[in-house]
């Protein structure tokens, strides 16, 4: 057992942190307030190879795994730049394409994802189905040699920044007549695909959208993979990377908040010569949050290691636990940071309250804490499913 990163992973962590620090949380907030995207940071991260660390080298990536991508997510978040689209484009879309795309799809899409010039976002959530993806209502029907897609999706992140959206739809399997899931690479400018921006209470340069698919016609090669049978495994292939990287983002955000707060409480003096951090009513909540973040980081490391070793089932358990732990730890860390900063905690300048919405959302998305507890109750504790 080792808890050390490899020298290459160490270098990656330091380099990503240095990049994030050059931009910082004020850049992230300014972009969000201006309704703009973190285009410069994304482009630079792409040029430096950080967005493609987990993409095979033959498609322009770094040939690493989810461990490396989690490092990128955590370190950028630890500098105050939690980029949600890292979870969607390199983690979900690139993994799904690498593992289940056709050779032609991999060649067409992966190099652009690796250098950051392209983004592919992911659309599964629907207003009626919510957490229950078995109820998906978006349907793909064969239309000549292509497909016709109809349905509605909600909370889809980054559609305005992406060239394609990976849409999860139901198809009819001609051999059984049953509806089974399939993934489609739909250009974001496809005829019949429209969107409306959702107003979210999250300070973020990345936006969520309602998507409407009205007779969206796509060619046969928009279907991800060689056949309809690729759908279900492809869908599951994206889950572990999604949970692990979103957890890493949460852990990084927690570290960022604790660092901001610790700097402040170590120097702020309101009772004579002692810093407020010398009072245990201030330092213990911060120390408690630091313990929770560190525990989450351990579970993230375990989940990423298992995933990269091809142990998908075990990575599923650890990835869900890591996501749960990091979601709770990040929310605790940011809330605690706001509290110990006092009034300063609520200012934009000190850069912690700006994260409240994001960490709150991290307990709901991409999978809610309750659905993770359901997973653990059933698959780890052997309890009966209630729904």
Ligand X SMILES: Cc1cc2nc3c(=O)[nH]c(=O)nc-3n(C[C@H](O)[C@H](O)[C@H](O)COP(=O)(O)OP(=O)(O)OC[C@H]3O[C@@H](n4cnc5c(N)ncnc54)[C@H](O)[C@@H]3O)c2cc1C
Residues that bind ligand X (CB under 6 A): 88, 121-125, 130-131, 155-157, 202, 208, 361, 364-368, 370-371, 374, 387
**Quick one: 79 or 125, whose CB is closer to ligand X?**
125
Closest contact distance (angstroms) between CB of 201 and ligand X is 10
**Quick one: 71 or 92, whose CB is closer to ligand X?**
92
Closest contact distance (angstroms) between CB of 127 and ligand X is 7
Closest contact distance (angstroms) between CB of 103 and ligand X is 27
Closest contact distance (angstroms) between CB of 284 and ligand X is 30
User: Contact, 266 vs 258, CB < 8 A?
Assistant: no
Q: Residue 253, exposed/middle/buried by CB under 10 A (0-12, 13-18, 19+)?
A: buried
Closest contact distance (angstroms) between CB of 280 and ligand X is 34
What's the CA dihedral at 264, 270, 271, 274 to 10 degrees?
30
Give the pair of three-digit tokens for residue 53.
Answer: 């660390």
Closest contact distance (angstroms) between CB of 313 and ligand X is 22
**Quick one: 12 or 251, whose CB is closer to ligand X?**
251
Distance CA 153, CA 151 (A): 7
What is the three-state SS of 100-168?
HCCHHHHHHHHHHHHHCCCCEEEECCCCCCCCCHHHCCCEEEEECCEEEEEEEEEEEECHHHCCEEEEE
Three-point CA angle 222, 227, 229, nearest 5°: 120
In 3D space, the residue among 141, 163, 169 whose CA is nearest the CA of residue 231 turns out to be 169
Nearest residue to ligand X, scored by beta-carbon proximity: 130
Closest contact distance (angstroms) between CB of 333 and ligand X is 18
**Quick one: 62 or 316, whose CB is closer to ligand X?**
316
**Quick one: 250 or 285, whose CB is closer to ligand X?**
250
**Quick one: 365 or 376, whose CB is closer to ligand X?**
365
What's the CA dihedral at 160, 161, 162, 168 to 10 degrees?
-50
**Quick one: 51 or 286, whose CB is closer to ligand X?**
51
Closest contact distance (angstroms) between CB of 245 and ligand X is 13
User: Contact, 110 vs 59, CB < 8 A?
Assistant: yes
User: Contact, 105 vs 180, CB < 8 A?
Assistant: no
Closest contact distance (angstroms) between CB of 114 and ligand X is 20
**Quick one: 126 or 308, whose CB is closer to ligand X?**
126
What's the CA dihedral at 250, 255, 260, 263 to 10 degrees?
170
Interaxial angle between packed helices 39-47 and 66-78, expressed in degrees from 0 to 180 and rounded to the nearest 10? 140
**Quick one: 15 or 232, whose CB is closer to ligand X?**
232
């Amino acid at each position: 057992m080792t808890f050390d990163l490899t020298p290459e992973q160490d270098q990656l962590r330091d380099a990503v942190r240095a990049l994030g620090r050059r931009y910082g949380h004020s850049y992230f907030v300014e972009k969000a307030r201006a309704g703009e995207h973190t285009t410069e940071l994304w482009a630079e991260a792409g040029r430096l190879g950080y967005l493609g660390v987990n993409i095979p080298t033959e498609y322009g990536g770094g040939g690493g795994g989810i461990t490396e991508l989690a490092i990128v997510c955590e370190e950028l978040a630890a500098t105050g730049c939690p980029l949600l689209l890292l979870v969607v484009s390199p983690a979900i879309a690139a993994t799904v394409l690498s593992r289940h795309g056709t050779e032609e799809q991999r060649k067409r899409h992966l190099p652009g994802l690796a250098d950051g010039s392209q983004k592919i976002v992911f659309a599964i959530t629907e207003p009626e189905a919510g957490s229950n993806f078995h109820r998906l209502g978006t349907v793909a029907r064969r239309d000549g040699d292509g497909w016709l897609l109809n349905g509605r999706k909600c909370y889809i992140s980054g559609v305005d920044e992406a060239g394609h959206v990976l849409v999860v739809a139901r198809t009819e399997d001609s051999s059984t007549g049953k509806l089974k899931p399939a993934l489609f690479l739909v250009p974001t400018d496809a005829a019949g695909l429209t969107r409306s921006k959702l107003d979210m209470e999250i300070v973020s340069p990345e936006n969520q959208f309602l998507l409407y698919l009205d007779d969206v016609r796509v060619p046969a090669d928009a279907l991800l993979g060689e056949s309809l049978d690729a759908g279900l495994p492809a869908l599951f292939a994206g889950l572990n990377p999604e949970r692990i990287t979103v957890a890493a983002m949460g852990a990084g955000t927690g570290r960022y908040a604790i660092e901001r707060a610790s700097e402040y409480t170590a120097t702020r003096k309101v009772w004579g010569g002692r810093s407020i951090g010398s009072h245990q009513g201030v330092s213990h909540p911060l120390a408690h949050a630091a313990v929770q973040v560190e525990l989450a980081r351990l579970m993230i490391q375990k989940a990423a290691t298992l995933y990269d070793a091809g142990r998908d089932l075990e990575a599923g358990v650890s990835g869900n636990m890591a996501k749960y732990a990091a979601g709770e730890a990040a929310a605790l860390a940011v809330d605690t940071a706001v509290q110990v900063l006092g009034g300063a905690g609520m200012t934009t300048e000190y850069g912690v309250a700006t994260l409240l919405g994001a960490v709150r959302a991290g307990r709901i998305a991409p999978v809610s804490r309750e659905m993770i507890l359901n997973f653990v109750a059933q698959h780890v504790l052997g309890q009966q499913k209630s729904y």
